[in-house]
Amino acid sequence: MPAPETDTDTAAALDRALHEVLDPVPAGRLAPVVDRLIRDYRSGTVPSSPILRTADDAAAYAAYRMPATHAAVADVLARAAGRVPEPAEMVDLGGGTGAAVWAAAGVWPSLHRATVLEAAAPARALGRRLAEHAPWPAVRTAGWESAVLGPGTALPESDLLTACYLLGELAEPLRDALVDAAARTARVVVVVEPGTPAGYARVLAARSRLLAAGLRVAAPCPHDGACPVTGDDWCHFAARVNRSSRHRTLKAGSLGHEDEKFSYVVAVRGEAEQAPGRVVRHPQTRKGLVTLRVCSADGTLRDTPVPRSRKELYRAARDTAWGDPWPPAAPER
Ligand SMILES: C[S@@+](CC[C@H](N)C(=O)[O-])C[C@H]1O[C@@H](n2cnc3c(N)ncnc32)[C@H](O)[C@@H]1O
């Protein structure tokens, strides 16, 4: 199978795998499980027992959440590409059904070995089955290790470590211990959390620890200083997810897409190729004027008006999206 060339292809390949593996499972059986998972994930509390306990739990997660977590992580990694060294080996903490491994393989053809450390056996089993359908050898050959991550867990060395939608399931001391361990063992550390105030707070705490450990921020921040997004605001971004008919049925939705909101940090040991600035809101467009809210390299947050009279810059501003670098530099995605 030829390797896909864009992250849109990654999402399509994942959708095909989900179709192959999940279509035999009746949607009517998964729908109540999806409702329970939505309640559990929205509760905002650290779970006292595993959320994914059965094969149906894992199937429901893969059907309604994995396309969205994959879209968020693929967006993050595509933005990190070119700013961090290309990885050959990755470790995915709390990897669930493998969304981050699919995303990394789609972004970096250099990836040849992936290890998923995951506590839930049903998630590992389903992740393995989905991976068999992946166009990338790195996904097909990924190692799925049974691991309950604890404060003393020794992490293997890696070029890339991902912890996506995991920290919210851990008590704060364990979150801190794992981020510190990641900083000691990985060259590039990626943390992705839901784009909520609580998710952002966890990302901010992880960012501080990664900086304290001597890493530098490669994205989204264009600086290593204090985050200027304060008060009632929180730094987050959005990735478009195409909903399959299975997804629409399970979430009782009619729209053909949804936007997955996420907060993230990518930190690197060594030099970071930081963006000159980052657009942290949807650009506001009025006739003849685009206004971008930009987090800048000097650590400030400003609304930056770009009037039509600035010709080329105005054209660039019209093509700029939430999450893009500003001013436009080398293409990121
Ligand atoms: C919300 S899911 C995210 C899965 C995947 N990273 C993704 O983005 O789709 C969180 C995962 O972390 C796993 N997990 C939670 N606590 C864990 C622990 N202490 N050790 C290992 N895995 C854990 C759960 O079993 C679950 O699969």
CATH label of the domain that carries residue 245: 3.40.50.150
Distance 292 CA to ligand 1 centre (A): 35
Written as one letter, the residue type at 288 is G
Asked, for residue 1, whether it belongs to a domain, the answer is: no
Residue-wise pLDDT for 65-96, tens only, equals 999 999 999 999 999 999 999 999 999 999 99
Pocket flag, ligand 1, residue 267 (CB < 6 Å): no
Pocket flag, ligand 1, residue 204 (CB < 6 Å): no
Distance 186 CA to ligand 1 centre (A): 19
CA distances from 30 to 37, 63, 76 (A): 10, 9, 29
Ligand 1: which residue has its CA nearest to atom 11? 94
Asked, for residue 2, whether it belongs to a domain, the answer is: no
Same domain, residue pair 120 and 187? yes
Distance 60 CA to ligand 1 centre (A): 14
Same domain, residue pair 210 and 310? no
**In whole numbers, what is the pLDDT of the chain averaged over residues?**
92
Structural domains of the chain, count = 2
Asked, for residue 325, whether it belongs to a domain, the answer is: no
| pLDDT for position 6 | 46
Burial class (CB in 10 A: 0-12, 13-18, 19+), 189: buried
Pocket flag, ligand 1, residue 88 (CB < 6 Å): no
Whose CA is closest to 273, among 329, 189, 229? 329
CA distances from 240 to 7, 73, 285, 292 (A): 12, 12, 20, 20
Same domain, residue pair 231 and 150? yes
CA pair distance 85, 58, nearest whole angstrom: 33
Say if strands 284-286 and 289-296 run parallel, antiparallel, or are unpaired: antiparallel
User: Using the 8-state DSSP alphabet, how is residue 294 labeled?
Assistant: E
| SS3 assignment for 306-317 | EEHHHCHHHHHH
Q: Which of 53, 145, 166 to mutate to test the pocket of ligand 1 (most atoms within 8 A of CB)?
A: 166
Q: Which two tokens stand for residue 3?
A: 């390797």
Pocket flag, ligand 1, residue 149 (CB < 6 Å): yes
Ligand 1: which residue has its CA nearest to atom 10? 166
> Which residue carries 């979150």 as its tokens?
175
Ligand 1: which residue has its CA nearest to atom 23? 94
Q: Which domain holds residue 306?
A: 277-318
Confidence of residue 178 (pLDDT cuts 50, 70, 90): very high
Residue-wise pLDDT for 251-306, tens only, equals 777 777 889 999 999 999 998 889 999 999 999 999 999 999 999 999 999 999 99
Confidence of residue 46 (pLDDT cuts 50, 70, 90): confident
Same domain, residue pair 221 and 312? no
Residue 325 has pLDDT above 80, yes or no: yes
The verdict on whether omega for the bond into residue 50 sits within 30 degrees of 0, i.e. cis, is no
Same domain, residue pair 169 and 282? no
Pocket flag, ligand 1, residue 163 (CB < 6 Å): no
Same domain, residue pair 251 and 281? no
Confidence of residue 3 (pLDDT cuts 50, 70, 90): very low
Same domain, residue pair 87 and 70? yes
Same domain, residue pair 89 and 179? yes
Pocket flag, ligand 1, residue 103 (CB < 6 Å): no
Same domain, residue pair 106 and 194? yes
Same domain, residue pair 160 and 260? yes
Residue-wise pLDDT for 191-250, tens only, equals 999 999 999 999 999 999 999 999 999 999 999 999 999 989 999 999 999 877 777 777
Buried b (16+ CB within 10 A) or exposed e, 95-105: bbbbbbbbbbb
| pLDDT for position 329 | 63
Same domain, residue pair 127 and 259? yes
Q: What angle do CA 154, 160, 162 make, to 5 degrees?
A: 75
